[in-house]
């Protein structure tokens, strides 16, 4: 009798455990389906007068995802996220913010957006000098450029070839070199060295009287580990900058004379973003573990090994090595390009003083090398959602670039801003804005002919009506 009772109890427990396991797999499969969900956001943008708006910019989580067409229509697809923060803007209209909260099982979101007309403050600014293309050449893609002393250095792509040019300030050609490696960008080190940056290798070069002289080739790891972290030299002391907490903490520091002891100057921390970023990071790790443990219920690519590289101790922290499925690839790409965007902070020397522009906390700090805060002022510009600092390389004037369209003169001692220029509407999405001797430079993309771009130059002169 006892044996029968024990046997029946064992069978019942077996059935219960089996059903619990099936329920567990079902819940995990629902979680997986949510992660892999792709949604489409579409809508029509119009004015208060009912006129459709062509050329409005649609940003999702600070990344441009669409431009409204001649009928005011836009559409884009994205992977499942907790929230999608939309920002719609067009010159002459107030920026419009909208939050899309994805719901399980819903794949389409239709929006009807009305932009309010605004009296554009920029109308008080007259362009004294017409914006012009610096170069006559039109059959190239400018990858990057530098305004170096009185020389303009251009890295360009022409068909399948990569070239490095030097031009006079007027745009007249000085020298041209065809490169044997597909470099992507240019960089000036804290010591003033010029560098070509590529995916796997970099090269240092010099400019003398406009002529190009190539120096050592080195691995890209050296650039990111030793050259890029040095952001400036203050009173003969190199100051370095590193990012921690998935780029949500910026640490400025220097080394003592022994070159071994590190001394922190200041830490900029975006606590709110850090919590959100850590949440997404943990979700990626969890999905990776689940995908490895349940390959039959996930979309793991046949190209990837099914071994858990984290548990095996073979993982170096590179998230892309965990992208073993389309779902993980989408999540990791979004994390790298949007979620873990570095905290917005810039350190510079102005009139022999050290100033930290901390846009995460909307402040300007005058610091000592010991980290002592000499002054702390608020940046008085509430209209600016996306902002960065551009310093005139020929003097100590500092400018605030607001939303990629407006240029403000910034008083780094009081935090006051003064609008000095608005980039004309026809120059949509200006990139790599630089200022030299009162001249504004930027790369203009013609989105009707996306394959080519141009370098534009104009004067930064404000004249009141």
Flag whether pLDDT at 287 surpasses 70: yes
* Residue 301: per-residue pLDDT: 67
Number of domains in the chain: 2
Q: Could you tell me if residue 264 is inside a domain?
A: no
101-115, 224-238, 283-297, 382-396: which is most confident: 224-238
* pLDDT of the residue at 34: 45
Residue 87 β-bridge partners: 59, 97
By the 8 A CB rule, do 441 and 430 touch?
no
Rounded CA-CA distance 195/182 in Å is 13
Residue 300's domain comprises 272-339
pLDDT score at 165: 94
Q: How far apart are CA 154 and CA 164, in angstroms?
A: 6
Tens of pLDDT, residue by residue over 202-252, are 999 999 988 999 999 999 999 999 999 999 999 999 999 999 988 899 999
Spatial contact of 85 and 42, defined as CB atoms under 8 Å apart: no
The last residue of a domain, from among 104, 119, 134: 119
Amino acid 37: pLDDT: 64
3-class DSSP state for residue 11?
A: helix
- What confidence score (pLDDT) does residue 144 get? 94
Q: What pLDDT score does 20 carry?
A: 53
User: pLDDT: is 249 or 403 the higher one?
Assistant: 249
Q: What is the CATH number of the domain that holds 88?
A: 2.60.40.1120
Query: What span, in angstroms and rounded, lies between the C-alpha atoms of 442 and 458?
Result: 9
Residue 225 CA to residue 220 CA, distance in Å, equals 9
Q: Comparing C-alpha atoms, which of 150, 246, 242, 157 is closest to residue 452?
A: 157
pLDDT top residue among 305 and 316: 316
Q: What is the mean pLDDT of residues 272-277?
A: 84
User: pLDDT at position 128, please?
Assistant: 45
| Distance (Å) of CA 403 to CA 12, 62, 371, 389, 422 | 65, 11, 31, 12, 11
Name the residue among 462, 458, 428 with its Cα closest to residue 91.
428
In a domain, 102, yes or no: yes
29 exposure class (CB count in 10 Å sphere: 0-12, 13-18, 19+): middle
- pLDDT for 27 beyond 90: no
Query: Residue 170 — very low, low, confident or very high, per pLDDT cuts 50/70/90?
Result: confident
pLDDT reported for residue 123:
39
Q: Which residues contact 312 (CB under 8 A, 6 or more apart)?
A: none
pLDDT band at residue 310, thresholds of 50, 70 and 90? Answer: confident
Number of H helices, E strands in the chain: 4, 31
Order of strands across the sheet that contains 161-168: 141-148, 151-158, 161-168, 173-179
The DSSP 8-state label assigned to residue 297 in this structure reads G
- Predicted confidence at residue 173, as pLDDT, reads 92
Count of C-beta atoms within a 10 Å radius of residue 180: 9
Report the distance separating Cα 119 and Cα 50, nearest Å: 18
Give the number of other CB atoms < 10 A from CB of residue 395.
Answer: 12
pLDDT at 197: 96
Q: What is the 3-state secondary structure (H, E, C) of 410-426?
A: ECCCCCEEEEEEECCCC
What residues contact residue 439 under an 8 Å CB cut-off, 6+ apart? 457, 458, 459, 460
CB 202 within 8 A of CB 220: yes
Domain annotation covers residue 109: yes
* Structure token digits, residue 131: 């914006």
**What pLDDT, on a 0 to 100 scale, did the predictor assign at position 405?**
79
Q: Which of 95, 119, 143 is the endpoint of a domain?
A: 119
- Give me the pLDDT at residue 105, please: 67
Q: How confident is the model at residue 446 (pLDDT cuts 50, 70, 90)?
A: low
- Stronger pLDDT, 463 or 134, i.e. the higher one: 134
403 pLDDT exceeds 60? yes
pLDDT tens, position by position, 325-342:
888 888 888 888 888 888
- How many Å apart are CA 432 and CA 426, to the nearest integer? 17
CA dihedral 388→392→397→398, nearest 10 degrees, is 0
Predicted pLDDT at 96: 85
User: How do strand 453-459 and strand 96-100 relate by DSSP bridges?
Assistant: unpaired
DSSP 136-163: S--S-EEEEEEEETTEEEEEEEETTEEE
* Domain endpoint, select from 339, 355, 373: 339
What 8-state DSSP symbol labels residue 123?
G
3-state helix, strand, coil in the chain (%, to 5): 20, 45, 35
Q: Tell whether 441 is covered by a domain.
A: no
18 has pLDDT over 80: no
Average pLDDT, the chain: 81
Q: Is residue 98 part of a domain?
A: yes
Do the domain assignments include residue 89?
Answer: yes
Structure tokens at 91: 């010159």
Beta-bridge partners for 155? 144, 164
Q: How far apart are CA 102 and CA 109, in angstroms?
A: 9
124-128, 235-239, 264-268: segment of lowest average pLDDT: 124-128
What is the rounded average pLDDT of the residues 64-77? Answer: 80
pLDDT score of 412 more than 50:
yes
Name the 3-class secondary structure at 222.
helix
Q: Is 296 part of a structural domain of the chain?
A: yes
pLDDT tens-digit profile of 344-375? 899 999 988 999 999 888 899 999 998 899 99
Q: Do the domain assignments include residue 21?
A: no
């Amino acid at each position: 009798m006892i044996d029968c009772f024990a046997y029946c109890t064992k069978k019942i427990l077996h059935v219960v455990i089996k059903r619990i396991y099936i329920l567990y797999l079902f819940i995990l499969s629902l979680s997986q389906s949510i992660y892999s969900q792709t949604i489409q956001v579409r809508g029509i943008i119009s004015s208060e007068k009912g006129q459709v708006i062509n050329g409005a910019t649609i940003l999702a989580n600070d990344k441009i995802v669409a431009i409204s067409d001649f009928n005011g229509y836009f559409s884009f697809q994205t992977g499942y996220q907790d929230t999608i923060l939309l920002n719609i803007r067009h010159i002459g209209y107030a920026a419009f913010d909208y939050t899309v909260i994805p719901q399980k099982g819903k794949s389409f979101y239709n929006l009807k957006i009305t932009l309010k007309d605004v009296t554009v403050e920029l109308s008080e600014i007259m362009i004294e000098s017409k914006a012009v293309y610096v170069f006559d050449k039109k059959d190239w893609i400018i990858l990057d450029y530098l305004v170096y002393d009185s020389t303009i250095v251009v890295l360009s792509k022409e068909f399948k070839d990569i070239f490095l040019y030097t031009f006079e300030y007027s745009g007249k050609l000085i020298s041209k070199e065809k490169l044997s490696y597909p470099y992507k960008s240019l960089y000036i080190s804290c010591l003033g060295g010029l560098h070509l940056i590529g995916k796997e290798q970099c090269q240092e070069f010099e400019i003398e009287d406009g002529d190009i002289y190539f120096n050592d080739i080195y691995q890209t790891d050296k650039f990111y580990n030793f050259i890029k972290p040095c952001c400036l030299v203050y009173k003969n002391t190199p100051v370095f900058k590193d990012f921690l907490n998935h780029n949500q903490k910026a640490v400025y520091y220097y080394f003592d004379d022994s070159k071994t002891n590190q001394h922190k100057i200041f830490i900029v921390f975006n606590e709110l973003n850090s919590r959100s970023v850590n949440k997404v990071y943990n979700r990626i790790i969890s999905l990776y573990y689940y995908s490895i443990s349940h390959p039959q219920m996930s979309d793991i690519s046949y190209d990837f090994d099914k071994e858990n590289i984290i548990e095996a101790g073979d993982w170096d922290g590179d998230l892309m090595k965990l992208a073993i499925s389309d779902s993980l690839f989408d999540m990791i790409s979004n994390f790298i390009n949007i979620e873990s965007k570095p905290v917005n902070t810039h350190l510079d020397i102005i009139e022999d003083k050290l100033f930290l522009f901390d846009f995460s906390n909307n402040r300007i700090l005058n610091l000592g090398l010991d980290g002592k805060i000499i002054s702390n002022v608020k940046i008085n510009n509430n209209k600016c959602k996306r902002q960065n600092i551009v310093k005139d390389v020929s003097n100590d004037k500092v400018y605030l670039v607001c939303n990629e369209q407006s240029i403000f003169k910034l008083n780094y001692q009081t935090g006051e801003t003064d609008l000095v220029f608005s980039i004309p509407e026809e120059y949509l999405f200006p990139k790599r804005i630089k200022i030299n001797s009162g001249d504004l430079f930027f790369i203009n993309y013609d989105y009707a002919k996306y394959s080519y771009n141009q370098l534009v130059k104009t004067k930064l002169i404000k004249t009141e009506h």
